[in-house]
Every structure is written in structure tokens, then in C-alpha cells.
Amino acid sequence: MSNYLDRLEAEAIHVLRETAGQFERPALLFSGGKDSICLVHLALKAFRPGKFPFPLVHIDTGHNFPEAIQFRDRLAEQLGEQLIVRHVEDTLKRRGIPDAKGKFPSRNPLQTHTLLETIEEFRFDACIGGARRDEEKARAKERFFSVRDEFGQWDPKLQRPELWNIYNGKIHPGENVRVFPISNWTELDVWNYILRENIELPSIYFTHERTCVLTEHEQLMATNVFISLDEHDTIVNRLVRYRTVGDMTCTAAVESKANSVEDIIEELKNTTVSERGATRMDDRISEAAMEDRKKGGYF
Amino acid sequence: MELLRFFTAGNVDDGKSTLIGRLLLDSGSISTDIIETVTRQSKVTGENTTIDLALLTDGLRAEREQGITIDVAYKYFSTDRRKFIIADTPGHAQYTRNMFTGASTADLAIILVDARNGITEQTRRHTIISAVLGIPHIVVCINKMDLVNYSEACYEAIKADFSKVTAALDLNQVTFIPTAALSGENVVHSSKQMPWHTGKSLLSFLENVSVQPAQLHDKARFQVQYVIRPQTEKLHDYRGYAGTLWSGKLQVGDEVQVLPGAFFTRIQTIEHNLKMTESADAGQPVVMQLEDDIDISRGAWIVPGSELPEVSDTVQGTICWMDNTPFRTGAMKLLLQQGSLNTKASIKEISYKIDIETFEKSPSDDALKLNELASVCIRTAEPLVVDSYKENRNTGAFILINEYTNQTVAAGVLERNLQA
Ligand SMILES: Nc1nc2c(ncn2[C@@H]2O[C@H](COP(=O)(O)OP(=O)(O)O)[C@@H](O)[C@H]2O)c(=O)[nH]1
């Protein structure tokens, strides 16, 4: 078996089954994006004809694209799997945490609070996520099994060595593990896999017309109720698609006519901008932005 | 398209990060926004080159500040021919464990040598690690050739030296390439400065070398990871054993034995890719049902009755100690994990230590320090399936876990069965 997608798939399935075998209360963090949709597809291959040994958990920022939310609900229903949704809004209210401010009020950093609360509420000991090492430099050293302390923190200097196909998921009470089965996949691998497996995706990944604000960094942000517009803004109508599905407040669209998975793969092969660089406003702020957020308990 | 996994090893400053940066940059694998960021940082750190290639790989802030790689960083690129996964490992002796980690999953090792310095203690260490971990291919890049006037004589001398080092080692295929990573000679493009080198450039070699995911014998080895029991009306009695077939081939109807234990049964069904199939091949994740209803739990092995391995609770292995706290015989409660099996274990005896720079055996003082290599005798609570690592890289490896701290404290490869 030397085909690269077969090897990546086998590795991911192995990691999912190790998670099911080693932990008592795992959960799959489902964002509605392509990476977590691939995880669900891999979980089918890992556990059918049985049910998933974990619920799908979505941390809803309240700023999600409606297309992604509809897709999430339909998928969970079609598969007959349990879906748990927790809202950032509720956390902010309950704990009196000030909401995100500014022109593009990103709740991205705030969702960490809700995630940690949800882990505590259900006493999850392993949270499966779709992060990939190619996404950005701090993630390049992340393990498949990444231990977090009671405060959800990640210490990049104290990671366990991870060898061969052997994953050490032993933890102390209160600790939990983040599991990243598709660590070794790149954005292009994900798309090639989606093509090969014929995996259905939310419509916003494909070209559509949208009214957008042109930001100072020349990024296209869909106009929506969460963004405060003023008379200086340049509003444009463009054919766009999304490369990642995050919040409407911090995920930029890219101009594209790509109408199919094949088109998208062609487009990516010719692109010169990385996935996060193209679409995430928050990572541009600082080179170490992701590393800092991860230490604090971010996905 | 095939996948090749390799790791890079070299002394600090031999040019490892530059070499990887070169591979990524010249093969067109770096996005322009990342090049811009790195160019910005290059100026901040006061490099006079326009772009500091090493910054493409040195990920964590602590490392950027210290200017060295301290943990394994994984990098990805692909060409039209292949997808590559690079484990970029630190070179310092104090990070031997990180190199072990990066090397454990590699099909190929790139060992860097500074042409001005030739073979050093570190080169020997990296080569010994590659030998212990059975890396199928080794590429020695003799780098910074520009600083020795692209001298063929210098290159040949280092080659000869290297062969002396490896004489005692059980090494697989070794290939030498003279490079100048900074300017890119023989990295992606063949060098005009070194017409005497008739071999391939590094990238061309990586694209063409035969891919061997791992060294495996062809005996079938399947370990149960998880038992699928839907317990629905339709699948009331369904009991599927989920796991990966690590080597060999299994077919519906094969007579198999469940290990440890003496139970024989037959394979009733095999599912792969959500479909029933007649057989499974090495590397595939599958679900199997057996004809007899027996209680099999996670960590058990299902193997053909005709290809039985040794099964033993006393094994000999070569281990690398990876914890800051040294090991003393009898003083630490340990767990041994072999794939999905986790069992209590104890190191009965440190038979001898292996000098990681000379490969010489020396008597043990009953203690193992961080990064030390030793041959040990281990007793386990539950018996293990014993395939020697030389014969099967997928099943012949294990880790040791400290039962109190839960840390992975050692990585090991099985040698042979003592009772055999
Ligand atoms: N002249 C020359 N310098 C090189 C070459 N490769 C790397 N260097 C320089 O050697 C230094 C160390 O390189 P780096 O890649 O950081 O080494 P690492 O510590 O092995 O990752 C840097 O200043 C590089 O620019 C080469 O082929 N020729």
C-alpha cells in the first residue's frame, strides 16, 4: 500500500480507533468545515457498522455561516449520531465576559472559554480535532495525541515523544488530550481525499455571488449583521468561495469561479497564498499568534 | 502518487534548516505570504541574506529566539511525482530522543555533513540511530561544498571516512550527494559547479528511490484496537474486531489463532472501506468477524495458524531512555505499550549499554540516563507477540511509560525471544 491517500487514511483511522480504545469519554469537535467533515467520514470507516463511540460537539460562536450550521444539523441527523452544541453567547452572558469589539468582532479567541466549559461539563477526556500540521508553524510540532493540563494549556516544550504507530494516551484526572488524526494531511490532500471519496460539503466552499467589504488588506469580508459598516467602506459584489469555514467576522472569502472539487484542486495548485494567510484575519496580527492561543487552550 | 517520509539530521549549523528551506522553496512549495513573513523576520534577526531559509522550518518562538531546532517539526511538500513528509530533527546530543522520534516513522534518513569538518561524533550518532531504527535508505549530504571549492577529493575523502564508521553497523542502502544548500547546488537542480558528480540531485533522488513504507516480513499480523458491537436488532450478535493489518495478507476462511492464548478459529468476514471483501493486505485498516464467539479484547493479536510468532513475557530489546529522570533497576513502575497493548512491565536487567557514538558495548552500572542506549531484558505481566524489529518494523517496536507520571520514558525495538 504505497498510495499516499491510502497511507494517510489508514493512519487517521488507526488514530481514531486508538482514541476510542484508550479513552472513556472522547468527543469529536465538529466545526462544519471540510477538515472536520473529513474526520466524520473517517470515523464512518473506523467504526461502522457500529455507532461512533463519541458525540459530535460543536462550539457555536453565533457568528457562523448559516450554510455551515444547516449542513451540520443535516449531517448529524443523516448519520444518526449525537450532536452536542454549546454557545459562546451563553458563556459570555453567564460569566460577564465582554463580547468581541471592533469593526470585525471575532469571537475566535472567546470560543476557548466555551470549549473548556464544555469539556468540563461532559468530562471529556479526549477531544478529536481536524487541525493539520501544515496549517502554520506552531502546529508543525504538535503531536497526534497532545496532552493538555487541567487548565487546557499546551506546553510545547513538554510534549511526549511519539513514536511509530504507538500513541500514549495515559493521563491524570483532570487532564485531557487533543487528538489530531489528520495531522499529516495538507490542504491539497484534504481536497484530493474529498474528490476521491465523493464527500459532500457546505455550499460556501464553491463559487457564489456575495456582497463583500474590501478590507485594508484587500481581503473580501462578507457583509453581515455582525460587521459595522460606515460610509468609507468599499462594498463590492464578487464571485467568491471560502477556503476555510470559520466565523463570518474573521474569515475572508477568496475570489473564485471554482464550481466543483476538481476546480478547487486546480485552483489550489496554482495559488500562491497559504490557507490561513488567505482567509484568517486574526493570524495576521502576530507571527506567534497561534502559538499563544494554543498555549491558552485553543484547539 | 506515492508517499515518502524522511528525516533530516545534522550538527547545529551544518545547514539542515537551509537545506530543507531550499527543497521547499525551489520545488515551489512555499506560499508567497509565508515567504513575505519570513523575509520580514530575516531582516529583524539581522541576516544579510534577503531570505533566511532556516526560518521556514524553525517553528516555535522559543526556538526562534535561541536560533536552534529543539523539537521535531514536520514539513510537507509534494512534486508531480511524490508527496513528502519531512521530520526535521535537532542535532544536539541532548536531543537524541527527538531524533529517535522523528526517525521512527521515516522511510529514509538525510544525514548532513559539513564538508569542512567531515565526519564528527554527531554524524556517527545519527548514523547509529538510523541503523538501530532500521531506516531503509540513508542519504549523506556533504554540504557547504562551496566552502571547499567544490573539491571532489574532499568529497571522496569524507565518503571513505563514512564507510569506515558504518563498517560495524547493519546499514541499509547508503547514497552520497555533494551539496551547497545556501546556493542550492545539487538540492533541486544539478550542480554546474560539480560536474564530477554524476549522481542525481537530492530531490531527484527522493523522487525516484523505491518507497518501502517499512521493513516487513510477509507473515500476517493483525492487532485488535477496538471491538465493534452495534447491538442493534439487525446486528444483534455482530462482533467486529477493528484494527490494522500490519503485515502479510489475510483471507476469509483462513484458520487463525488468537494470541495470547491457544484459541483457533476461522475468519468469517473482512470489511474494508465500508464494504465486505475477500481479503486484506498489509497496511489496510479492516474489521473482521470470527466464526467462533470468543471474548477477545483490545491488544490481542489475530494471526494465521501457519505463521505463528513467538509469544513470551520475557523479551530482549534495545531501548533509548527518553526521560530526564534516570532509570535505576527495580526503582520505577513501568508500562509497556506495543501497538494497542498496554501491560505492566519491568526492566529485569540492563545487559549492556551501547555507546551512541562508537556503537561499542560497555558493561552497565544499573542506571540509564537521558538519551542513553542499552540492551535490556524486560518482563511483562501479559505476554507479548515477539517479532524482531529487524524483521518487522510495525510490530517489533514498543514504548515504556512511567506509571506515575504517564510520560513516555523509553522507546525500544525487540531483538529476539529469550526463551526461543
Ligand atoms: N557557504 C554555505 N553556507 C551554508 C550552506 N548551507 C547553510 N549555510 C549557512 O550555515 C549556517 C547554518 O545553517 P542552518 O541551516 O541554520 O543550520 P542548521 O543548524 O543545521 O539548521 C547559516 O548561516 C547558513 O546560511 C552552504 O551550502 N554553503
Distances from the Cα of B10 to the Cα of B21, B98, B121, B168, B198, angstroms: 15, 13, 11, 21, 24
**In which band, very low, low, confident or very high, does the pLDDT at B104 lie, cut at 50, 70 and 90?**
very high
pLDDT at B420 (0 to 100): 43
Higher per-residue pLDDT: A243 or B333: B333
The fraction of chain A above a pLDDT of 70, given in percent, is 85
Domains in chain B: ranges and CATH: 3-208 (3.40.50.300), 221-304 (2.40.30.10), 310-417 (2.40.30.10)
> How far does the CA of residue A95 sit from the closest CA of chain B (Å)?
32
- Is B75 in contact with A186 (Cβ distance < 8 A)? no
Asked whether the beta carbons of B80 and B93 are under 8 A apart, the reply is no
Higher per-residue pLDDT: B321 or A110: B321
d(CA A263, CA A259): 6
> How far does the CA of residue A209 sit from the closest CA of chain B (Å)?
26
- Is A133 in contact with B393 (Cβ distance < 8 A)? no
pLDDT at A286 (0 to 100): 41
At B174-205, the pLDDT tens digits run 999 999 999 999 999 999 999 999 999 999 99
pLDDT at A288 (0 to 100): 45
At B356-413, the pLDDT tens digits run 888 889 998 889 999 899 999 999 999 999 999 999 999 999 999 999 999 999 999 9
At A188-212, the pLDDT tens digits run 999 999 999 999 999 999 998 988 7
Q: How far is the CA of B13 from the centre of ligand 1 (A)?
A: 6
Is A130's pLDDT higher than 50?
A: yes
As for the ipTM of the complex, it is 0.91
Closest Cα in chain A to B281? A1
Is A67's pLDDT higher than 60?
A: yes
Secondary structure (DSSP) of B280-291: EETT-EEEEEES
pLDDT at A235 (0 to 100): 82
B186-189 long-range contacts (CB < 8 A, ≥24 apart) are B186/B145, B187/B19, B187/B22, B187/B23, B187/B26, B188/B22, B188/B23, B188/B26, B188/B27, B189/B26
Is B56's pLDDT higher than 70?
A: no
3-state secondary structure of B153: helix
At A157-171, the pLDDT tens digits run 667 889 999 999 999
pLDDT at A287 (0 to 100): 41
Helices (H), B79-147: 96-104, 121-132
d(CA B60, CA B63): 5
Strands B108-114, B2-9: parallel, antiparallel or unpaired by DSSP? parallel
Domains in chain A: ranges and CATH: 4-189+288-295 (3.40.50.620), 201-284 (no CATH)
- Is B100 in contact with A271 (Cβ distance < 8 A)? no
Is B69's pLDDT higher than 60?
A: no
> What is the interface size between A and B, counted as CB pairs within 8 Å?
169
pLDDT at A54 (0 to 100): 98
d(CA B68, CA B60): 10
Q: How far is the CA of B342 from the centre of ligand 1 (A)?
A: 43
- What's the whole-number mean pLDDT along residues B118-137? 91
Residue found under cell 537551509: B18
- What's the whole-number mean pLDDT along residues A176-191? 94
Q: Ligand 1: which atom is nearest the Cα of residue B47?
A: 23
Ramachandran angles phi, psi of B321, nearest 5°? -80, 130
CA A299-B4-B6 angle, 5° bins: 75
At B280-329, the pLDDT tens digits run 999 999 999 999 988 899 999 999 999 999 999 999 999 999 998 999 87
User: Of B3, B225, B408, which is closest to A21 when you measure between CB atoms?
Assistant: B225
Mean pLDDT comparison of A272-281, B322-331, B347-356, highest-scoring range: B347-356
- Is B105 in contact with A8 (Cβ distance < 8 A)? no
Closest Cα in chain B to A268? B31
Is A282's pLDDT higher than 50?
A: no
Q: Which of A78-92, A215-229, B247-261, B292-306 has the lowest mean pLDDT?
A: A215-229
- Its pTM stands at 0.91
H or E segment to which residue B265 belongs:
strand B263-272
- Is B76 in contact with A17 (Cβ distance < 8 A)? no
Q: Which of A126-135, B130-139, B162-171, B331-340 has the lowest mean pLDDT?
A: B162-171
- What's the whole-number mean pLDDT along residues B217-225? 93
pLDDT at A261 (0 to 100): 96
pLDDT at A272 (0 to 100): 63
pLDDT at B338 (0 to 100): 97
pLDDT at A89 (0 to 100): 86
* Best residue among B13, B14, B18, B117 to mutate for probing ligand 1, ranked by most atoms within 8 Å of CB: B18
d(CA A39, CA A28): 8
3-state secondary structure of A157: helix
Residue B13 Cβ < 6 Å to ligand 1: yes
Secondary structure (DSSP) of B302-324: EEETTSPPEEEEEEEEEEEE--S
Of B251, B286, B283, residue with least CA distance to B268: B251
Distances from the Cα of B109 to the Cα of B13, B104, B129, B245, B367, angstroms: 18, 10, 10, 26, 30
At B256-270, the pLDDT tens digits run 999 988 899 999 999
pLDDT at B58 (0 to 100): 54
**In which band, very low, low, confident or very high, does the pLDDT at B164 lie, cut at 50, 70 and 90?**
confident
Q: How far is the CA of B115 from the centre of ligand 1 (A)?
A: 12
Q: Which of A123-137, B24-38, B121-135, B276-290 has the lowest mean pLDDT?
A: B24-38
Burial code (b: 16+ CB inside 10 Å, e: under 16) for A171-187 equals: beeeebbbbbbbbbbbb
Helices (H), A198-250: none
- Is B285 in contact with A271 (Cβ distance < 8 A)? no
CA A39-A43-A49 angle, 5° bins: 155
pLDDT at A165 (0 to 100): 94
**In which band, very low, low, confident or very high, does the pLDDT at A108 lie, cut at 50, 70 and 90?**
confident
Higher per-residue pLDDT: B420 or B400: B400
pLDDT at A134 (0 to 100): 84
Q: How far is the CA of B204 from the centre of ligand 1 (A)?
A: 21
d(CA B220, CA B302): 9
pLDDT at A296 (0 to 100): 55
Of A7, A165, A21, residue with least CA distance to B339: A165
Calculated CA dihedral for residues B207, B209, B211, B215, nearest 10 degrees: -150
CA R_g for chain B: 24
> How far does the CA of residue A215 sit from the closest CA of chain B (Å)?
17
- CB contacts of A17 in chain B (<8 Å) are 225-226, 242-243, 285
Closest Cα in chain B to A291? B60
Average confidence score pLDDT of chain B: 88
Closest Cα in chain B to A288? B61
Residue B143 Cβ < 6 Å to ligand 1: yes
At B25-38, the pLDDT tens digits run 877 776 666 666 66
Q: Ligand 1: which atom is nearest the Cα of residue B185?
A: 27
d(CA A37, CA A43): 10
- What's the whole-number mean pLDDT along residues A228-252? 79
Asked whether the beta carbons of A186 and A39 are under 8 A apart, the reply is no
> How far does the CA of residue B372 sit from the closest CA of chain A (Å)?
15
Residue B144 Cβ < 6 Å to ligand 1: yes
At A17-39, the pLDDT tens digits run 999 999 999 999 998 899 999 99
Average confidence score pLDDT of chain A: 85
Q: How far is the CA of B14 from the centre of ligand 1 (A)?
A: 6
- What's the whole-number mean pLDDT along residues B12-17? 84
Q: How far is the CA of B205 from the centre of ligand 1 (A)?
A: 21
Is A49's pLDDT higher than 60?
A: yes
At B137-157, the pLDDT tens digits run 999 999 999 999 999 999 999
pLDDT at B61 (0 to 100): 43
Is B74's pLDDT higher than 50?
A: yes
- Dig out the grid coordinates for A251 from the structure: 474569515
pLDDT at A284 (0 to 100): 41
Q: Which residues lie across from A22 on neighbouring strands? A: none
